[in-house]
A = this chain, B = another copy of it.
């Protein structure tokens, strides 16, 4: 692997650890916990791991007696997030600190490698190559869902063969839910293997009172903000384009909100607000159109619009349309397929209920086609493939043309489109993510050494210096409730959507009128690793505002 100069220089960075984890550690148990909702059901599903106490590590002056070596397996699950390599480095250093003979095994290409017994031993030489780098390429990642007993049993074979004491699963809400189910199962059969989760996702929707943020959110939003800032500087120099910028982040709008706080775009749509206000697609378009018209009156025919990836699913009317389309096209798949290309739109319109037909008719042709053609293996519309940024700009353009004819608009509208996702998921972790991830991994080693299972590694108090960070473990069941998935009620970790009453949204909403009217662009620039602390070491504004 040929290394860039930055990679070489960055390898020397020593991630910060919470003060408490630097020396001898003792574990302090809090009170028994309960799930965020549906207590009885969750308790029933997790008889062995429900109600465990919250754990906190404290410094201990007592010399801890020598611990036995620990063998640990680690899995990277789901989409990449900056800092995964540092979780693994921290875990490696943590178990080596406990006992030099401890070993770390990495299962390859995600949970699939665990089930299929594909693994490598992660030695000091390998780890060294990946410290402070982005990506999950040290062992790869994958989306196989660990949810079946057969998978658990199959995995247990390799754990036993390798004499592995604990499995660390680095993943998002679904993967950590599965980690909890696995922990419960291994406990129930006395498998003798602990399971510990680590909160990963750039989406920022895996958080609660005790998990302040998921790792990767910091770096990814900083990369996107760099790009948005660059585009805004271009926008303000050329003064002739509207840039519609879609940002990855599945359902929640945390990424869009954080980027909006960082860059102060002309407009930023927040899906959770669209849903709360029961806005239609036309309402969203109208909001953009009105801003564009106001600006054109002041000679400003340019601006930026941030759009969260999940928007379309938060618009109640579109959600209903998609649901009916899914049913319709499943029920009459062959009839639809028999229609000639040019007739399909009409056929769909005739077969939808009146309300949904109206929404469908309002969609530009390309998007309407996407809704009926691009379907996943289950026949469902693949919402993530919908180019919402183009959909909105096309509808905005159409509306502006009508208003121009009516003499209500006299500006120029030239849109540009961008979608940022893969650009940030594997970026070199910011100092914050490098530190946080390393600490999460190191802390996971401490949890393993405490003998617990079904916990998520928790490092908090993150707006303070790393020295003051609080480290410990949170029972995963504590974050769970029951939700409907594929028609069945399932125990899942509650997703954190943007809280419309929280500080980050409040500060954004106080700012936005000014942004819509003028040019309030901020240009954050690229992530810096070597400069002054106020440039290199700031957490996200979301985290800062949430804990102010």
Give me the interface of A with B, judged by CB distance under 8 Å.
2-7, 9-10, 76, 79-80, 109, 133-137, 140-142, 223, 226-227, 229-231, 233-239, 243, 262, 264, 342, 416, 418, 422-428, 520, 522-532, 534-535, 538
Contacts and interface: CB of A to CB of B under 8 A. Distances in A.
A10 B226 CA distance: 15
Contact of A236 (B135, B233, B538): B135
Complex copy number for this chain: 2
A2 B426 contact: no
A223 to B, nearest CB: 7
Contact of A530 (B134, B135, B229, B531): B531
B416 A526 contact: no
25 contacts: A2-B520, A4-B262, A4-B525, A5-B538, A6-B524, A9-B534, A76-B237, A79-B238, A134-B233, A135-B234, A135-B236, A135-B523, A137-B237, A227-B423, A230-B424, A230-B426, A231-B423, A231-B426, A233-B427, A234-B425, A234-B426, A243-B422, A427-B526, A526-B528, A530-B531
Given A135-B236, A140-B239, A237-B136, A530 B527 contact: no
Contacts of A136: 237-238
Nearest to A428: B525
A449 to B, nearest CB: 29
A199 B464 CA distance: 47
A2 B416 CA distance: 25
A419 to B, nearest CB: 8
A515 to B, nearest CB: 11
A226 to B, nearest CB: 7
A230 B427 contact: yes
A342 B7 CA distance: 53
Contacts of A523: 4, 7, 133-135, 428
B525 A528 contact: no
A10 B4 CA distance: 23
A397 to B, nearest CB: 14
8 A-B pairs with least C-beta separation: A526-B526, A530-B531, A135-B233, A233-B426, A136-B237, A6-B525, A234-B426, A4-B524
Given A234-B426, A528-B528, A528-B530, 5 more contacts: A6-B531, A80-B237, A223-B526, A230-B422, A342-B342
Contact of A535 (B5, B141, B538): B5
Nearest to A12: B532
A236 B528 contact: no
B428 A526 contact: yes
Contact of A532 (B80, B137, B226, B530): B530
A530 B134 CA distance: 20
Contacts of A525: 4, 6-7, 10, 427-428
Contacts of A80: 233-234, 237-238
A316 to B, nearest CB: 30
A529 B522 CA distance: 19
Contacts of A418: 422-423
Contacts of A528: 6, 526, 528-530
Contacts of A423: 227, 230-231, 418
A74 to B, nearest CB: 14
Given A342-B342, A423-B227, A534 B5 contact: yes
Nearest to A416: B422
Which of A109, A520, A534, A535 has the most chain B CB within a 10 Å cutoff? A535
Nearest to A511: B2
A507 to B, nearest CB: 13
Given A230-B426, A422-B416, A528-B528, A238 B10 contact: no
Contact of A134 (B137, B230, B424): B230
Contacts of A243: 422
B9 A531 contact: yes
Contacts of A531: 6, 9, 529-531
Contacts of A10: 525
A543 to B, nearest CB: 16
A231 B427 CA distance: 8
B522 A238 contact: no
A3 B535 CA distance: 12
Given A9-B535, A428-B525, A422 B231 contact: yes
B526 A226 contact: yes
A424 B226 CA distance: 10
